[in-house]
Amino acid sequence: MIKVNGANGETFNFPDGTDPSVIKQAMQKHYAPKAPQDTQEPEAAPAPQEEQSLFAGMLDTAEDVKDTVGGVVRGATKGFSFGAAKPINAGIYAAGQKLTGDERPMGEIFDDELAQEQAQMDEFAEENAGLAMGAEIGGALLVP
């Protein structure tokens, strides 16, 4: 056994045959100046982010629910009627408006309602593409 006395009186033992460079390296490592400890307080860990649902924010308000249900129903009726639902709905609406005293020509009421229906369907399809397509396909599959 090789005994080596350290600077402060410590004794270190190395196995017989240990290369002097290994002993020197071990001693230097033991007596190497220690890095000053960081006196700063560790930064606070960031707050964990809440897990987001796939449907997060989709139905935040009653208006969103109404719009989503309306969009699905419009898409399903479009698929079920092969696109005839919008003009049928616009025609029924125009007739109802005329019966309740609307002075505009029936064609103007029809065109306005048809444009509004199309705008609602386009907006829903833009915001919920998969749901709109699924509703149309589902409606078409209901046809016997």
Q: What is the mean pLDDT of residues 133-139?
A: 86
Mean of pLDDT over the chain: 80
Q: What is the mean pLDDT of residues 44-58?
A: 59
- Domain holding 20, by residue range, is 2-30
Range from 14-18, 39-43, 62-66, 102-106 that averages highest in pLDDT: 102-106
pTM of the full structure = 0.50
Cβ neighbours of residue 54 under 8 Å, at least 6 residues apart?
A: none
Banded pLDDT at 69 (limits 50, 70, 90): confident
pLDDT at 111: 94
66 shares its domain with 123: yes
SS3 category, 18? coil
Interatomic CA distance for residues 136 and 82, integer angstroms: 9
Interatomic CA distance for residues 85 and 135, integer angstroms: 14
Q: Compute the chain's Rg from CA coordinates.
A: 39
pLDDT at 115: 93
53 has pLDDT over 60: no
In this structure, is residue 108 part of a structural domain? yes
In this structure, is residue 17 part of a structural domain? yes
Provide the domain count of the chain.
Answer: 2
75 shares its domain with 137: yes
Question: Minimal CA–CA distance to 68: which of 116, 132, 115, 117?
Answer: 132
Interatomic CA distance for residues 131 and 113, integer angstroms: 23
In this structure, is residue 79 part of a structural domain? yes
